[in-house]
Structure 1
Amino acid sequence: MPSVNMTTTNGGKINIQDAVNKDHVVIVSLWATWCVPCLKELDAINDVYSEWQEETNVELIAVSVDDGRTVKRVKPLINGKGWDYTILLDTNNDLKRALGASTVPLTLVIKDNKIVYRHSGYSPGAEDELYEKVKEYSK
């Protein structure tokens, strides 16, 4: 993972490398409030997230790439959705650029601070494929 400083929704600072440097698999999802497929993917994962955590101890970090104009929508949206994810803000798109991401959603599976799976876009059912990868790397 590239070394990029992020902002928390409470205004704190954290480096994405520190955020993903865990003993378990971490999913990083780049998304935006205006991206309908992003919201569908995060909603679909949210429906099964507690089961995923019980089985694999996986953690999901949702990184908003909303810019200065739309970032104010992030907190109301996640509060309304009730997502139990760690939410980080990439308002300058530093992480998006460092990852060479042209579009969102971009979903990454991180193991030992390395990207082991990368998927761009979302279609219904893609979360099942994602979970298969999480289980594979959680062993």
Structure 2
Amino acid sequence: MRVCKKNIGWLISVIGLFCFSFIVSINIKDYSARLQQDYDVLFENSDGEDINLSNLKGKVVVINYWAKWCIPCLAEMPGLNQLYLDMRENRNIIFMAVDMDGNAVKGGNFMKKRKYSIPVYRIKTELPLDLQTKSIPTTIILDRKGVLVNKHVGGMNFKSTKFKEALQQLSEE
């Protein structure tokens, strides 16, 4: 009788593990499929021109969510701007500083006063969940296929040589 109960316990454990791994693999496939979708999101730059994220396939896209009142955002901005200046000749990389206050013109003027050159945008349409954040600063990187490869919430060291090299490598893939 003990052997039978022990075997039933093992059998239930194996079946449970199989079901769990099956569910996890389905969820991973669903998540991967979502990441492969085009991000049909509209942004407007400080000149009033619209840009659709789905039209940027073929380029690495660096999106930084920031606000004028956000101290960590302002602390990382010199490094982000310098990275933009260092890499702006690379036609395979696009930088977008997205003003989360929703006014690209005011955000652009704010940047100009501080002698920053990075292009400023505002969000015009709803963001997909993958691109949303509840905290700023947040930096998102899309590869040339339009796939989300990195989402970092919090301040970043944009002066890092490794980060710059990783962007360069992504732009060549």
* TM-score of the two chains, using structure 2 as the length reference: 0.62
Higher strand share: 1
Q: Which has the higher contact order (CA 8 A, sep 6+)?
A: 1
Alignment of 1:48-87 (within 5 A): 48-54=83-89, 58-67=93-102, 73-87=106-120
1:6 is aligned to 2:43? yes
Higher helix share: 2
Runs (5+) with no aligned partner, structure 2: 1-37
After superposing on structure 2, the runs of 4+ consecutive aligned residues of structure 1 that deviate more than 4 Å are 54-57
Superposed CA RMSD in Å reads 2.8
Change over 3 Å in CA distance of 1:91–1:48 after alignment to 2? same
Contact 2:45 2:122 in 1 (8 A): yes
Equivalent in the alignment of 1:119: 152
Equivalent in the alignment of 2:80: 45
Contact 1:117 1:133 in 2 (8 A): no
The aligned amino acid for 1:26 is: V
Q: CA deviation at 1:131?
A: 2.2
The structure whose Rg is larger is 2
Looking at structure 1, the residues matched to 69 and 94 of structure 2 have their Cα atoms a distance apart, in angstroms, of 24
* TM-score of the two chains, using structure 1 as the length reference: 0.74
Runs (5+) with no aligned partner, structure 1: none
Equivalent in the alignment of 1:101: 133
Q: CA deviation at 1:33?
A: 1.3
The aligned amino acid for 1:3 is: D
